[in-house]
Structure 1
Amino acid sequence: MNQFTASLWGDEAFSAILSQKSIPQIIAIIARDTSPPLYNICEHLLFRFFGSSEIAIRALSFAFFILAIFFVYKIGENLWSRKTGAIAAILTFFNPFFFTYAFEGRMYSLLALTVTSSFYFFLSRRWKLYVLTTAAALYTHHFAVFAILPQGLWFLKEYFFCKKKVAIQILKSFIAIAILYLPWVMPLLNQAKMVGTGFWLGTPTLTDFRSLVYKYLAEGIPHKLAQPALYLVLAAFVIKRWGKDVEKNLFLVFWFLVPIIAVWVISQKYQAIFFDRYMLYTIPAAMLLIASGLRKISLPILAGVIALFIIIDSFYFTHPTKRPFRELAAYVTESKRGDDYLINWNSAAHHLWESKYYGIPAPIYLSGDKLPYYVGTALMTEADTVSSLPQGKNARSINRIGVITSGPVEEVKLPGYTKNEVKQFGSLKFLWYLRIR
């Protein structure tokens, strides 16, 4: 078992189910959900040629990840040298948080690719490609807009203190990006309204801010070596030659910190939207910073960082943490009888999309509760939730109810049924309940 073959989790399974639909259907459905459509269109095209297996899904994300690493190298080469580019690329490849999303069947590695390529073309002043990659980023994830903020600050710097001709080119590019994004403005506004009615994130604290920065620098995977790796990364920052190439360093600091600060501030004043994976595209900037302005002592420190990163990543790659839903589905398929009724228990999370992906018909049992606005809500049908168990004549033929949950077994209460058997699959549980006669 490794990260390519691990079971899909909820959001990945939702994406896979959505991507099996036609492109017009994908656009129509996701316009009522929480993200833009580019990743699902790419996944849809992948499915046509390679199928919708876990390996195919993760391979697509890994391909985007590798391309993102290539652009990290190109930025380092553009700003400094091939050596700097190579060191930055290696650091970014093995950065634990960045590494985890190389195997996530969602849009995050595509987001990293489009934003990183956007910054490369911005720096190299290849404006047409900059416009296209930035528009692609916006059509991948809404948080790409925060990547434009440091570029906007650089526009102001160029306009007021440097070359107005360059500033005018940047402004023209911004206008072109806005025009390309116009078709998605109304879906964006509608999605923002829906999220505002009840999203699941809480207001972040300063501790959350610091924790996210540390995650991005070295602590992206829980491991006993994560803290030593962080100390080495911080040491690399301390000994870096900050006085050399100040403008380049400032640009990368803007790239790394401005999106994080902006999202944190918005989460204080308006809707809480501060979540680690939404801004992972800032990680390359941090890795480029510590790969540049090196002193003699820097190389052994960076070698230590890379060594620790590799150990952490290797453990992560060979020890998947995603819930083993495929194994649960195999058990249910084997043990289910014709008259059994299956449900998903709505605990801290539900598993509707995994159930659908692995072919287990099990609606969410709400028992009066209202679902928060989760990813995938727009794809749900009336049949995907039930507020009561089968009653009257419908219940007479049902002797067993199977319950899928990752919450505490004790919280599952089914009127008229008694717990008979519990099967454990990691943190997943499958419970059989028998009807009380």
Structure 2
Amino acid sequence: MLRSVWCWPALTTLLLGLYRITTPEPWRDEISSWSAANRTLPQLFAMLGNVDASNGVYYLVLHAWTGVFGDSVLSLRLPSALAMAAAAAFTALAALRWFRSRVAAVAAGLLLAALPNVSAYAQEARSYAIVTCAVAAGGWCLLRALERPRAARWAWYGLCTALAGVFHLVSLSSLAGQCLLVGLHFRSVRDARVLRRFPVAALAALLPTVPVMLLGRRQSGRQLDWVAVATRHRLRMFWPEFLGSFSVMYAFLALAAAALLWRGRRTAAVQAAALAVLPVLGVWLVSQGRTSYFVDRYLLFTLPAWAALAGGGVGAVHAAVRALGARPAPPGARDPLKALPRAWRPTGPGLAAALALAVVAVPGLLGLPEQRGARHVTAHTETDYRGAARLVASGYRDGDGLVAVGGRKAWMMVGPGVAYHLPGGVRPRPLLIARTAVRADDLFPTECPVPVRCIGDVSRTWVVTIGTGDDPYQALPADQAGALRAVFTPSEVRHVRGLTVSLLVRARGRA
């Protein structure tokens, strides 16, 4: 197994994904994942009928996973780390079939591991790593099916494509690159079976995604209204941000150019480039309408193709050096390479390994600042849910209430974020809420239309708001702030990163 081209890329990606995996604090999208997965199946299905159906399959998988392994930060993020490691394995296997070079294959997998966004989303409790794995596996299965167009291989390709689609619909844009890949293959082999079986497999893969499409279309106005318009400037800036930085992008472009110049492997390089670029351009074009889907993490699944293309560049450099070393010296000339041990001559395995590692190390070293940033405690969020929960827990008394900022700021998931980090024995009563998120079949609770009527007889309540000012009611809707002022007086106001935590005590004589 250790000699397999997929082994070391998978292990490297897994180790990088596990390194400090619990350090970055879960951000609001991860809290949404926990909130959804933590419900019973009937409650989860009821929620998906109203919101976030596009992530429903992931929530179901996470529900089953946490039912067995718990809902710690490590447990929530571990499926993503495992999926990204598998994506690196499939990237290496696909590069091997494209470029027929073990050096290119191993380099492709290691280059994927070196990308900062791969590490970042290997440590996030969302579906993007699983989608990346499914698309990478689908690309490899497609290459196998084109090589030998058997029904079983087409079935595996269809299954991977369907999995990617139901986990995230934007991944279906990968079909644009796959169509060009199939067209280039047909032009070289003229096998009519390819033109019959590829559309059948692709259409079969689309069938399971239809329910998700229908629900997602109905919910798109609410789910995607925050996505900015896909301008030309955003397209230009997409690539350096996506690959980690301008320097990493230039390193990948240099390796891609080397792959495209590799004689005998140009078709393979063009196929990989199609899978890397066409989905991005397709999503950008579709996003010119009323709804934009142009978000970098939605297109994470194109990174394996970028890595495979860059791995082909490493293979091209290695092949050129070997050809140079194999060239005979002029008659009478002294060959300095004979002084080297055989393994370290340009045609030997030692130099091949050293050369591949040296070339791969360049984008890896260039991306180190972004790799460190991905593991910082504030990598995902500027709000310290954990710190706020610690303050509440330290002064909690049985019967305390909790008010978390909602309304137009409900998408910040402050209430669920604090609740996730509270110890098991600390369960403050939610105030100013008519129905909890679970009872409302939503990610957000339904707020009380007349806040003062929803306070009850609570003598103390904690208030967690956004910002770090001294006003305990900042960012609260005016009617909620007024209701709290009428009943309570501030006892203490404390701050954590991005949040204010206040303890309000019922004033004497106030009902």
Smaller-chain TM-score bracket: 0.7 to 0.9
RMSD between aligned residues = 3.3
| 1:343-370 deviation per Cα after TM superposition (whole angstroms, max 9, x unaligned) | 222447342332343356576979xxxx
Encode CA deviations 1:349-402: one digit per residue, 9 max, x unaligned: 342332343356576979xxxxxxx9xx95347x553455324xx657455543
Contact 1:252/1:288, CA 8 A, preserved across alignment:
yes
Alpha-carbon offset, residue 103 of structure 1: 0.7
Provide the C-alpha distance between the structure 2 equivalents of 1:22 and 1:378, rounded to a whole number of angstroms: 12
Secondary structure in structure 2 of the residue aligned to 1:273: coil
Percent identity reads 21
* 1:63 aligned to which of 82, 104, 108: 82
Which of 208, 227, 244 is the aligned partner of 2:234? 208
One-letter amino acid of the structure 2 residue matched with residue 307 of structure 1: L
Q: Conserved in 1, the CA contact under 8 Å of 2:55 and 2:127?
A: no
Structure 2 CA distance for partners of 1:52 and 1:218, relative to 1, 3 Å: same
2:58 pairs with 1:39: yes
Preserved CA contact (<8 Å) 2:30 2:124: yes
Query: What are structure 2's unaligned runs of at least 5 residues?
Result: 1-18, 146-152, 322-354
Measure how far apart 1:173 and its partner are. Answer: 0.8
Q: Could you say what secondary structure the match of 2:403 adopts? A: strand
Q: Is 1:305 aligned to residue 368 of structure 2?
A: no
State the shift of 1:424 in Å.
2.4
The DSSP-based 3-state class of the residue aligned with 1:78 is helix
In 2 relative to 1, CA 86–405 (structure 1 residues): closer, same or farther, beyond 3 Å? farther
Structure with the greater relative contact order (CA < 8 A, sep ≥ 6): 1 or 2? 1
1:224 aligned residue: none
- Aligned partner (choices 415, 431, 436) of residue 352 of structure 1: 415
Q: Return the match for 1:194 from 209, 219, 227.
A: 219
Q: Distance in 2 between matches of 1:10 and 1:238?
A: 39
Within 5 Å, which residues of 2 pair with 1:113-192? 113-125=133-145, 126-157=153-184, 162-179=190-207, 181=208, 184-192=209-217
* 1:316 maps onto 2:341 in alignment: no
- What is the distance in 1 between the residues matched to 2:187 and 2:126? 40
Structure 1 alignment gaps of length 5 or more: 220-226, 367-373
More displaced 10-residue stretch of structure 1: 186-195 or 97-106: 186-195
1:295 is aligned to 317
Verify the 8 A CA contact 1:32 1:187 in the aligned structure 2.
Answer: no
What is the CA-CA distance between 1:96 and the residue it aligns to?
Answer: 0.4
Match of 2:128 in 1: 108
2:499 is the counterpart of 1:428:
yes
What amino acid does structure 2 have at the position aligned with 1:147? S
Please list the CA deviations of residues 389-430 of structure 1 after superposition, one character each: whole Å capped at 9, or x if unmatched.
324xx6574555433233464643522526554322222332
Once residues 380 and 40 of structure 1 are traced to their aligned partners in structure 2, the CA distance between those partners, rounded to angstroms, is: 12
Distance 2:468 2:287 in 1: 31
Partner residue, 1:90: 110
2-structure distance, mates of 1:187, 1:217: 29
When Rg is computed on C-alpha atoms for both structures, the one with the higher figure is: 2
Amino acid corresponding to residue 353 of structure 1 in structure 2: P
Query: Equivalents in 1 of 2:369, 2:475: separation in Å?
Result: 40
C-alpha distance in 1 between matches for 2:374 and 2:497:
16
Give TM-score scaled by structure 1 length: 0.83
Indicate the larger mover: 346-355 or 246-255. 346-355
How many Å separate the matches in 2 of 1:265 and 1:92?
A: 26
Asked if the contact 1:419/1:433 (under 8 Å) is kept, the reply is: yes
Q: Find the aligned partners of 1:197 and 1:13 in 2 and give their Cα distance.
A: 18
Q: Contact conserved, 2:119 with 2:374, CA < 8 A, in 1?
A: no
Q: Counterpart of 2:402? A: 342
Q: What amino acid maps onto 1:118 in structure 2?
A: G
SS in 1 for 2:213: helix
Output the amino acid matched with 1:149: A
Match status 1:385 vs 2:451: no
Show the counterpart of 2:290.
Answer: 270
Distance in 2 separating the partners of 1:365 and 1:272: 34
Distance 2:187 2:430 in 1: 59
Residues 468, 496 of structure 2: 8 Å contact kept: no
What is the match of residue 284 of structure 1? Answer: 304
Moved more, 86-95 or 6-15: 6-15
Q: 1:194 Cα shift? A: 2.0
Q: TM-score, normalised by structure 2?
A: 0.72
Report the CA distance between 1:114 and its aligned residue: 0.7
